[in-house]
Structure 1
Amino acid sequence: MTEQTSGRRVVTNMSLSLDGHYAAADPQDMSWVLPYAVGDVARDHLTSLWEPATTALLGRVNAEGFLGFWPTVVGMEGADPRDEGFAKWLVDTEKVVLSSTLSPAPGEAPWERTTVIDKPAAEVVADLRAADGGDIVVFSSASVIKALLAAGEVDRLALMIFPIFLGDGPRLFDDGLPAERWTLVSRTAGEHGELALVYDRVR
């Protein structure tokens, strides 16, 4: 049985290679992700995560990448409607960025509705849980996801598994995580062997 500790779930999403890496040895190399990220399974998976969410929680690196790219998809000719839907949501939703160095000008596009906070991820999540809203979703910010897993603050763990061995690179699951059980709530296989998996923490 999965019970939430509050009305707001913390949902994390990460893409992994079959051998457990979330990035290649060269973190700028995203060629291993691209063949799968544009498929129906990945797009539908992403949509299912942002639609119930009202807050995006991001690390600095991911925030700069996301807010540098996704707003350009709005109105892009030939854009998949699911991509444009996510792009519009990201622009319009509350964004919380964890950083000790980032200082965008208040209200500067595309940083509207963005708050930069220099506090541990678990403390920020506790504050967000105390406020009204939908899911708090963390997209691909490894440092934030790692901190929340270590603190036992993840309610829903979403993963895209791509059928490729990277052989090297950072891993998402470090030794020493709290012993926990998770229950599988959905799984979808793509035509190229990719898997969309969603697990809820058993409390």
Structure 2
Amino acid sequence: MNEQTGARRVVTNMSISLDGRYAGPDPLDMSWVMPYAITDVARDHLASLWAPATTALLGRVNAEGFLGFWPSVIDMEGADPRDVGFARWLVDVDKVVLSSTLDPDQAPWERTAVVDKPTVEAVADLRATDGGDILVLSSASVIKDLLAADQVDRLALNVFPIFLGDGPRLFDGGLSTAKWELVSQTAGEHGTLALVYDRVR
């Protein structure tokens, strides 16, 4: 539980390069992620995050990417069981998609609410409901909003040993001073590093 608010915990997950970027110059090119995302460390890291979560929170672009791909993994021959588990969870879990362009009355995915509100307001609404963790899946704009408002309780990172050289960074200037406690660290294939930090309040 989040001791500060007595409400649900907000957990964010993002993969970043060693130079702190979540995308390269072409934000649609995720080829740099793939050698590392299929490692045991990355798969186990994700499983540890989605298992206690009862809500997935995504921006529209990430929702289209995740929900356009992952459901197909459920019946994919030879798929890793951890990938199938995540895919089933993503299909079955309650999803909140932040969007000002999607029709809130016609969400294109099952168990999905489309919300046209500022991120912090949407999260405050979710915190006021019953449930497990609220997991933000790789939606950089959502995570940045929550970090800026000091509304992240658990910060999970996959750090991949590559310099992208250019592209957007996850941690911009202007963040408030905040102390974090390292609660887990795992290193694995190809130098992949999975880190989980809890906000100290």
The answer for the alignment partner of 1:66 in structure 2 is 66
The answer for the alignment partner of 1:149 in structure 2 is 147
The answer for the alignment partner of 1:171 in structure 2 is 169
Measured in 1, the distance between the counterparts of 2:117 and 2:104 equals: 17
Check if 1:43 corresponds to 2:37: no
Contact 2:107 2:113 in 1 (8 A): no
RMSD: 1.3
The answer for the alignment partner of 2:122 in structure 1 is 124
**Letter aligned with residue 170 of structure 1:** P
Measured in 1, the distance between the counterparts of 2:142 and 2:123 equals: 10
Runs of 4+ in 1 over 6 A off after TM superposition: none
Alignment of 1:12-31 (within 5 A): 12-31=12-31
Measured in 1, the distance between the counterparts of 2:107 and 2:114 equals: 12
Identity %, equivalent residues? 77
Deviation of residue 191 (structure 1)?
2.2
SS of the aligned residue for 2:189 comes to coil
| CA deviation profile, 1:43-95 (whole Å, cap 9, x unmatched) | 00000000000000000000000110001111111110000000000000000
Contact 2:40 2:189 in 1 (8 A): no
The answer for the alignment partner of 2:156 in structure 1 is 158
Measured in 2, the distance between the counterparts of 1:4 and 1:83 equals: 33
The answer for the alignment partner of 1:95 in structure 2 is 95
The answer for the alignment partner of 1:54 in structure 2 is 54
| CA deviation profile, 1:161-181 (whole Å, cap 9, x unmatched) | 000001000000110011100
SS of the aligned residue for 1:192 comes to helix
**Letter aligned with residue 122 of structure 1:** V
Q: How many correspondences in the alignment?
A: 200
The answer for the alignment partner of 2:192 in structure 1 is 194
CA separation of 1:107/1:154 partners in 2, compared to 1, >3 Å: closer, same or farther?
closer
Measured in 1, the distance between the counterparts of 2:117 and 2:107 equals: 21
Deviation of residue 17 (structure 1)?
0.4
Measured in 1, the distance between the counterparts of 2:105 and 2:31 equals: 33
The answer for the alignment partner of 1:79 in structure 2 is 79
Check if 1:114 corresponds to 2:116: no
Measured in 2, the distance between the counterparts of 1:59 and 1:191 equals: 30
Deviation of residue 104 (structure 1)?
7.3
Measured in 2, the distance between the counterparts of 1:133 and 1:20 equals: 32
Deviation of residue 30 (structure 1)?
1.0
Runs (5+) with no aligned partner, structure 2: none
TM-score when normalising by structure 1: 0.95
| CA deviation profile, 1:17-52 (whole Å, cap 9, x unmatched) | 001100010111111100000010000000000000
Measured in 1, the distance between the counterparts of 2:127 and 2:184 equals: 24
CA separation of 1:104/1:121 partners in 2, compared to 1, >3 Å: closer, same or farther?
closer
